[in-house]
Structure 1
Amino acid sequence: MPIRAPRICGCGKAVPPGGRCPCRATADAERKARFDKTRPSARARGYDSDWKSARIDFLKAHPLCRCGAPATVVDHIKPHKGDNAIFWDRTNWQALCRHHHNSTKQRLERRATQGA
């Protein structure tokens, strides 16, 4: 079976197939740090003690993710973007396992914002 050749990063370094150049990893970390400095706290975004209680009640009523794993995250199907009406609309909530929330759901949201 043929082996793919390394690719050349914009910085000029050879990167093995499936790998990431250290310069890209550093740039990504810096970009994320800049974003986190401007992002409001979780409490400022509405995730307070009221949310914690509602989340626990919702997970008791919906204990499983769609994959059958135990649900640990209450996800907003339609992103609320600070809108309290959408934030508290329980028909907009879904129970997900951490894997599906942090990978699948986030990937779908990135695609939606890039296409808009």
Structure 2
Amino acid sequence: MPKYNERGSSSQRGYGSKWQGARELYLAQNPFCADHKERGRDVIATVVDHKIAPKLFEAKQSRDPERITRAHKLFWDRNNWQGLCKLCHDSHKQRLEKSGVVIGCDVDGIPIDSNHHWSGGGG
């Protein structure tokens, strides 16, 4: 896991005043946690999450103009955003980004992610 200083500051990663304004507007328009909503529960979202991490800081460090452009587009693409509560964002969303597998199982104990190694997937 990268150390904090290797990730850059929040501003270096794109989370400056422009992001804060866009975040506030998005949460006002999408007030509920997307993960909880899927389970039929209304829990207030406090984090705007990128479904696919844009890795803007890493793109800037690469100095590759095409990679930077792609990262910027992904960062500001509202279709790539979802509101999450802090618990969902800081727990299973982070595990998903690290492992690439959705955590959880159905009522029969079968993993819900078809890529999970117990499902015969590639995970």
- For the superposition of Structure 1 and Structure 2, which TM-score range results when normalised by the shorter chain? 0.5 to 0.7
Q: Where do 5+ consecutive residues of structure 2 fail to align?
A: 37-41, 57-70, 102-121
Question: Is 1:73 the counterpart of 2:47 in the alignment?
Answer: yes
- Find the partner of 2:74 among 86, 95, 105: 86
**How far does the alpha carbon of each residue in 1:53-98 deviate from its partner, in whole angstroms, 9 at most, with x for none?**
0000000000001312100000000110111110000000000000
Specify the alignment match of 1:52 in structure 2.
20
Question: Is 1:105 the counterpart of 2:79 in the alignment?
Answer: no
SS of corresponding position for 1:43? coil
Higher relative contact order (CA 8 A, sep 6+): 2
TM-score w.r.t. the length of structure 2 is: 0.62
Q: Give the percent of matched residue pairs that are identical in Structure 1 and Structure 2.
A: 43
Q: Kindly report the root-mean-square deviation, in angstroms, between the aligned alpha carbons of the 2 structures.
A: 2.0
Mapped partners of 1:38, 1:109: distance in 2: 18
Q: What is the total number of aligned residue pairs between the two structures? A: 83
Q: Which runs of 4+ in 1 moved over 3 A?
A: none
Letter aligned with residue 100 of structure 1: C
Q: Where do 5+ consecutive residues of structure 1 fail to align?
A: 1-31
**How far does the alpha carbon of each residue in 1:12-55 deviate from its partner, in whole angstroms, 9 at most, with x for none?**
xxxxxxxxxxxxxxxxxxxx6x7123221000010000000000
Greater C-alpha Rg = 1
